[in-house]
Every structure is written in structure tokens, then in C-alpha cells.
Amino acid sequence: MPQTRLDQADALELGELLTFLTDWHAADPDTLNASLTRHLATTGYDLNQLTHDLHRFAFLLGGNDGKPLFS
């Protein structure tokens, strides 16, 4: 698998963006989950799974301390 390198500042900024998105999900989960389901045209992936994935990516980029994943 090819490697992609990010400048540390860019990785932190991307991590912060992912954290922003997870905070937005928490603000209106019912509306956003319904919208995600319509967009994907399936119920196999929901807002909880998306939020978990975003937390994981943010953690891997240094955008959070992992507390949302491990608490």
C-alpha cells in the first residue's frame, strides 16, 4: 500500500476538522442520521458508526486524545 505523508500542521488541522464534524453530529443526531440514511439509501451504516470512524481518524491524526474512543 502506498504511503502518504502529511505535514504535522496539516494533519492536526484535518484532525480538528474531523472533531468539528463529530461535534456537529452530536448537536442534531436525529436529523443528521435520517439525512445520512437517505443519502446512502441503506440502513447498514448509521451516524453512530460514522461518528466513531471520525473520532478514530481524528485520533490517528493527533486531533484528539482518544478519549471519545476509549471512554
pLDDT in tens, 5-58: 888 888 888 888 888 998 998 999 999 999 999 999 988 899 999 999 988 888
Position 44 scores a pLDDT of 86
Write the secondary structure of the chain as one string of H (helix), E (strand) and C (coil): CCCCCCCHHHHHHHHHHHHHHHHHHHHCHHHHHHHHHHHHCCCCCCHHHHHHHHHHHHHHHCCCCCHHHHC
Tell me the C-alpha distance between 1 and 7, whole Å. Answer: 19
- Backbone φ and ψ for 40, nearest 5 degrees, come out as -85, -15
pTM: 0.75
Nearest C-alpha neighbor of 62 from the set 5, 17, 22, 15: 15
